[in-house]
């Protein structure tokens, strides 16, 4: 019988920060990290002396390619005066900073450290779209996926096609519903790259046409707008522009401490109660494109370590690099049965005011996806929600205690799932 995995020592989050996500000509990776780091310091209610930080774990996917600069751990450590204390870089494609979070947890749970800084950063916008596509494609299995011409829009288009073939009721319109929901959430997130609803975007296009004396579009609603290929062109069928996350720059970080000292820093710590990580196979060895093995394994590990079930999770951030990904991940995490994730979207179950809110931040789709910073940015949203600091996008539940974050890397090769609790 497999034993229940659990941490040998409790871990709590006592501070967190995130830069604004977007495309910034006048900011580099150092600027983005410092923006997140300064917010983290100010968020520690009772204050913290940075000199007490024992180590840094930094997630970064491919600034080596994007910025021609590797070895980011000691660079960031030196930037904030942490050197000569240890700095370790973690890489798991889009799950890179979720891995830094996991390593930081283990460092404290082992008893070796009492306080660690976990962070992520990525700078993508200084490259062309073609260069970004090439850089991200380093996370593909080059021998079997890259050489036959796959890029990530193609990977998830194939996933969407397989899903709609297997579950006949699912259509491209369900993917559009995901995007509409995400934009509705993101309009309340001041740090989101796209903080406007689809209706807002639609209305701005109408007003722009009027001012320019051009023919005024006659879209009936958001769905009609998203069906218009002139404003929402096809990328890889059935995925259109509004189904895809943007190129982004950004930084994120969290301060982790041993549970027994958490109240020294804040009266409202958020506790890590479940962690999970899984690995997956490349596309050519998968028997079914409609689920992610790594997600299912990570979820199983996190639920076992926390003693919880999917029904106990009150809201979650999931890795919606493309709209179909959100649908599938909600099934793999156990929130909905296989083949019913698209129905949940249609029925409004994943909306902010629904029974299982998904991607309250706007998700990768709207918040942005600076790949090395994404995992911790998702956890930052959960941290804000549980502390009651999410403003107008706060999940409207009376006793909000349990939230989770799911992060995927590559074509499903790396997955992290973490469960947080407010006590």
Catalytic positions are 94, 369
Q: 2: how many CB neighbours lie within 10 A of its CB?
A: 5
DSSP designation for 355: S
Angle at Cα 249 formed by Cα 131 and Cα 277, nearest 5°?
Answer: 90
Strand 234-236 vs strand 270-279: parallel, antiparallel, or unpaired?
unpaired
DSSP output for 160-227: HHHHHHHSTT--HHHHHHHHHHHHHHHTT-TT-SS-S-HHHHHHHHHHHHHHTTPPPP---SHHHHHT
Q: CA-CA distance, 64 to 62, in Å (whole number)?
A: 5
**How many residues does this entry show for the chain?**
423
As given in the structure block, the two tokens for residue 155 are 């990977």
Q: How far is CA 118 from CA 16, 73, 239, 299, in A?
A: 9, 11, 34, 22
As given in the structure block, the two tokens for residue 247 are 């190129």
């Amino acid at each position: 019988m497999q034993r229940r995995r659990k941490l040998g020592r409790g871990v709590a989050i006592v501070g967190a920060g995130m830069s604004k996500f977007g495309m910034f000509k006048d900011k580099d990776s150092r600027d983005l990290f410092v923006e997140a780091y300064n917010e983290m310091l100010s968020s520690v209610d009772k204050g913290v002396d940075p000199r007490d930080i024992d180590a840094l774990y930094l997630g970064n996917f491919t600034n080596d390619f994007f910025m021609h600069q590797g070895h980011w751990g000691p660079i960031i450590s030196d930037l904030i005066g942490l050197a000569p204390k240890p700095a370790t870089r973690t890489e798991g494609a889009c799950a890179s900073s979720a891995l830094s979070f996991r390593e930081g947890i283990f460092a404290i749970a082992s008893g070796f450290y009492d306080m660690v800084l976990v962070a992520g950063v990525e700078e993508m916008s200084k490259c062309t779209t073609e260069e970004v596509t090439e850089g991200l494609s380093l996370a593909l299995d080059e021998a079997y996926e890259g050489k036959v011409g796959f890029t990530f829009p193609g990977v998830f288009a194939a996933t969407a096609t397989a899903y709609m073939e297997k579950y006949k009721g699912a259509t491209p319109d369900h993917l559009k519903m995901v995007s509409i929901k995400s934009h509705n959430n993101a309009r309340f997130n001041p740090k989101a790259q796209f903080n406007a609803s689809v209706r807002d975007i639609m209305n701005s296009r109408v007003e722009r046409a009027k001012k320019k004396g051009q023919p005024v579009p006659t879209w009936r609603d958001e769905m009609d707008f998203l069906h218009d290929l002139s404003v929402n062109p096809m990328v890889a069928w059935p995925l259109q522009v509004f189904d895809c996350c943007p190129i982004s720059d950004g930084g994120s970080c969290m301060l982790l401490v041993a549970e027994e000292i958490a109240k020294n820093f804040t009266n409202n710590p958020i506790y890590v109660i479940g962690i999970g990580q899984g690995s997956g196979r490349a596309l050519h060895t998968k028997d079914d494109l409609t689920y992610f093995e790594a997600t299912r394994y990570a979820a199983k590990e996190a639920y076992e370590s926390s003693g919880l079930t999917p029904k106990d999770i009150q809201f979650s951030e999931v890795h919606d690099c493309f709209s179909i990904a959100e649908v599938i991940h909600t099934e793999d995490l156990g929130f909905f049965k296989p083949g019913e994730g698209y129905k949940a979207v249609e029925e409004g179950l994943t909306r902010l005011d629904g029974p299982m809110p998904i991607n309250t931040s706007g998700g990768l789709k709207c918040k942005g996806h600076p790949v090395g910073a994404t995992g911790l940015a998702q956890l930052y949203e959960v941290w804000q929600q549980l502390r009651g600091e999410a403003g107008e996008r706060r999940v409207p539940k009376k006793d909000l205690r349990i939230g989770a974050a799911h992060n995927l890397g590559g074509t499903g090769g790396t997955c992290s799932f973490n469960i947080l609790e407010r006590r």
